[in-house]
Structure 1
Amino acid sequence: MITEFKLPEKWQQRWDEQGFSEPSIIQETVYGPLVKGENLVGISPTGSGKTLAYLLPTMQNVTPDEGNQLLILTSSQELGIQVAEVARQWGKDLGLNVQPFIGGANVKRQIEKLKTKPEVLIGTPGRIVELIKQKKIKSHQLKTIIFDEADQLFLPGASHLVEEIVRSLQQEVQFGFFSATADQALPAIQAIQPDIQVFDVTKEDRSKGVVKHTYLIYPSRRLVDGLRRLAHIEAFQGLVFFNQLQDLGSAEEKLLFHHLRVASLASDQSKELRKMALELFKQGKIVELLTTDVASRGLDITGLPYVINAEVPLTKESYLHRAGRVGRMGASGQVVTIVQENTLPRLKKLAKELDLPLTEVFLHGGALLDEQPEKEVHQPKERKPLKEKTETRAKQTPVKAKPKVKNRKKAQKNKGARKSKK
């Protein structure tokens, strides 16, 4: 029971039905301040339950049938879709209308949804700015704004959208900033809220399951062969990350040629294709989902056993968020980074900066092994002994062939044949 949360009875029932025993540290830490309407930054590891950490307290402060009140900004379309699904589950118990407004979707349909006056809005910054400019979202009614994956939202190229949303507000609102690496965005956050509280529970959090961090030495020219062999491992399913979109496309084409159950999740795809690929992967109908860092944030795939880095991630933050797709809420998992002799030092440097134990694995016999398999020594085939010659044959003297007579006369040639005709 989580009576200290003072959840509504329907929510307590849902909490128990979903198998939660007790709140994670980040959920317990920020619940009280958010319910009271305080501004804060919440920092905790990937997979520690940050979505419910901000949804449960803030949704309780929303009043049904009073229009747009809670806005949740997400750094990607996938994250927005996922947060909307979770918010709808819990929101319906309180009679709240939850609607997603993400880029890539039909804007006219979204405008129609806004006519229903949803209390909870979830969206990507670009689309939210567009709807505010068209005066379809009533920003003056907003009471709370949550920034999910805040460090991504404040990156150059995206921060101006966030700033535009903040400028559109006509009253004081509550702010909540969440990410595993939100500390990197603190200067930008403090520019909005100078004295904001920071709750970093990274060191205290124990929600992370056992995750093995490993590397596989494999020739870069045979990368697709390595991915093909990994896909045939028993009970294998993995998110495969690439640094470049073009490398992803090339690998997907070759793997599909081998009739493997793979799909891609890329930024240049439509919302429908991305949603379908993710859903098929969650259902276990796809063995490998090829993607870039677009899928490294916030995606919650229950029981995912493997994350595969097709190459060394470009930054330690990238590695951290990719690895966060496994080991979520106590589950175990394995991260495998494919390297070559010249890229291995860069991976070891990342692991050292993140204080992660790193071990080598070997792909052999349809399995990933922790120890190098012994090389098979091919013994020469034993030659069958020749049959012993019989004593009689041993004593036989070889018949000497008659020497050929060169330059025989025509009359002497084929002499035997002429005799038989007589």
Structure 2
Amino acid sequence: MTEFICTTWPETWQKLWHEAGFSTPSLIQEKVYDPLKEGRSVIGVSPTGSGKTLAYLLPLLGKVNPGAGNQLLILTSSQELAMQVTEVARTWGQAIDLMVQPLIGGANTKRQVEKLKAKPEVLVGTPGRVLELIKAKKIKSQQINTLVLDEVDQLLKEGQLGLAAKINQTLTKQAQRCFFSATANEVINEIQPLLDTTPLIIDVTAEDQSKGEIHHYYLDYPQRRIVDALRRMAHLPDFQGLVFFNELSAMGNAEEKLLYHGLPVATLASDQNKLARRGALESFRQGKVRQLLTTDVAARGLDIHGLPYVINTDVPLDKESYLHRAGRVGRMGKEGTVVTIVQDHSLKELKKIAKQLDITLEEIYLHGRALHTEAPVVIPEPVKHVKSKSVQKTSVKTSENLHTPAKKIKKKQKNRKDKGKRRH
């Protein structure tokens, strides 16, 4: 591929490649380039942050004919990922006179239909909106000669599977199909029915060296005080973290409390409109927000340059969820930290996931405006010793005080009796 860059790429692409600071392609980019260029259907598997987007975009964009209408369709698992892929595709596509059109739910359908009249060569979208436009005959899917399912294992989960399969059925049998994800190898049985031929499986997970060092920790903290832990982390020097929740309700509650304390946080959730989601993500990327509270909607494919922390407020529901969340840090050689907040009952679940993923967990402690791998030393308060004599005196006095009234009463009663005897 390096030789290809030097000889046959357009000059505009060579310039973009070097301006981006790339020297050599990542392993997945190198391995899938020729098969994709040749039109083969490919399942590409590589670690998170290893450059999968460019791995499929560069060879596939190079095959697209300018001015020939819709040819390349890319489906993504979320609106955020669709917009991210759109930006990358536009950067490289516009350099060779290609138009790229995003088609996501939550956006104005009429505007999308108007832009489709310009016959963009590359379409990037979420399954629901793309299928809607195909049914309305606004997208001529018979013209699509290449389909990409980015984060394919997410797209083939219950709910998305039917949509993706229906879109696939509208394409010709000759169309090239491509499937990419860090965990695509786990859904090969689901992918096969979408194809009439046997796909080429390219899995570089074991060989890939692009991932930076990721430290995996757990923080033992009471469930009722999780917001307190987040508040304290927000004050750590140079802290910026993507904070994951398993439940939307817990995320909303945390946001309310953190904003009450005046902390710069935002949320990214599936029930927000497109503008709110885009604004939150942009503020986070610009460093205006120290914590972006989210669910697994942000665990797939999002590239936030140099992100130092991922915080799990709950143990993720499965190993795939943990893997993709953790994949937001340590991208393309960068270092990152994943902290999962646990209690006694959930630590066992986390250790099970760690064993499945073959990662090393270490306990971490939050004190003194820092995270420490060593437990804090608790210095007991000095005990004030009272002199024994004083104690005896006090106890004696107390004893005397307790018994004196009884003695006095008896004495008075005796005196009265004696006086009575004398009268008689």
TM-score by length of 1: 0.89
* AA at the equivalent of 1:99: Q
1:222 to 221, 225, 230: 225
**Per the alignment, in what secondary structure is the counterpart of residue 344 of structure 2?**
coil
2:110 to 95, 108, 111: 108
* AA at the equivalent of 1:35: K
The reply on whether 1:51 has 2:53 as its aligned counterpart is yes
Cα distance in 2 between the residues matched to 1:170 and 1:360: 53
Cα distance in 2 between the residues matched to 1:338 and 1:130: 41
Q: Which residue of 2 aligns with 1:82?
A: 84
Matches within 5 A, 1:158-307: 158-170=160-172, 172-193=174-195, 194-307=197-310
Q: Which residue of 1 aligns with 2:94?
A: 92
Cα distance in 1 between the residues matched to 2:41 and 2:171: 16
Q: Is the 8 A contact 1:74 1:80 kept in 2?
A: yes
1:31 to 33, 46, 52: 33
* Structure 2 portions without partners, runs of 5+: 387-424
Percent of residue pairs bearing the same amino acid type? 60
The reply on whether 1:325 has 2:328 as its aligned counterpart is yes
Q: Which residue of 2 aligns with 1:3?
A: 3
Q: Which residue of 2 aligns with 1:66?
A: 68
Higher helix content, 1 or 2:
2
Deviation at 1:3, TM superposition (A): 2.2
**Per the alignment, in what secondary structure is the counterpart of residue 160 of structure 1?**
helix
* AA at the equivalent of 2:66: P
Deviations 1:211-242, CA, capped at 9 Å, x for gaps: 00000000001010000001000000000000
Cα distance in 2 between the residues matched to 1:38 and 1:225: 52
**Per the alignment, in what secondary structure is the counterpart of residue 259 of structure 1?**
coil
Cα distance in 2 between the residues matched to 1:248 and 1:103: 23
* Structure 1 portions without partners, runs of 5+: 384-422
**Per the alignment, in what secondary structure is the counterpart of residue 124 of structure 2?**
strand
The reply on whether 1:144 has 2:146 as its aligned counterpart is yes
Deviation at 1:166, TM superposition (A): 1.5
1:341 to 339, 344, 348: 344
Cα distance in 2 between the residues matched to 1:61 and 1:360: 50
Q: Is the 8 A contact 1:140 1:171 kept in 2?
A: no
**Per the alignment, in what secondary structure is the counterpart of residue 277 of structure 1?**
helix
Cα distance in 1 between the residues matched to 2:380 and 2:10: 68
* AA at the equivalent of 1:71: L
Q: Which residue of 2 aligns with 1:399?
A: none
2:368 to 345, 362, 365: 365
Deviation at 1:379, TM superposition (A): 3.4
**Per the alignment, in what secondary structure is the counterpart of residue 342 of structure 1?**
helix
Deviations 1:307-363, CA, capped at 9 Å, x for gaps: 000010010000000000000000000000000111111100100010001000000
Deviation at 1:21, TM superposition (A): 1.6
* AA at the equivalent of 2:89: A
**Per the alignment, in what secondary structure is the counterpart of residue 78 of structure 1?**
helix
* AA at the equivalent of 2:336: G
TM-score by length of 2: 0.88
Q: Which residue of 1 aligns with 2:408?
A: none
Deviation at 1:376, TM superposition (A): 2.7
Deviation at 1:192, TM superposition (A): 2.0
Q: Is the 8 A contact 1:77 1:102 kept in 2?
A: yes
| Gap change, CA 1:171 and 1:355, over 3 Å in 2 | closer
Q: Is the 8 A contact 1:104 1:271 kept in 2?
A: yes
Deviations 1:33-77, CA, capped at 9 Å, x for gaps: 111111110000000000000000000000111100000000110
2:155 to 153, 178, 195: 153
Deviation at 1:380, TM superposition (A): 5.6
Deviation at 1:382, TM superposition (A): 11
* AA at the equivalent of 2:349: R
Q: Which residue of 1 aligns with 2:391?
A: none
Deviation at 1:2, TM superposition (A): 2.1
* AA at the equivalent of 1:147: L
Q: Which residue of 1 aligns with 2:406?
A: none
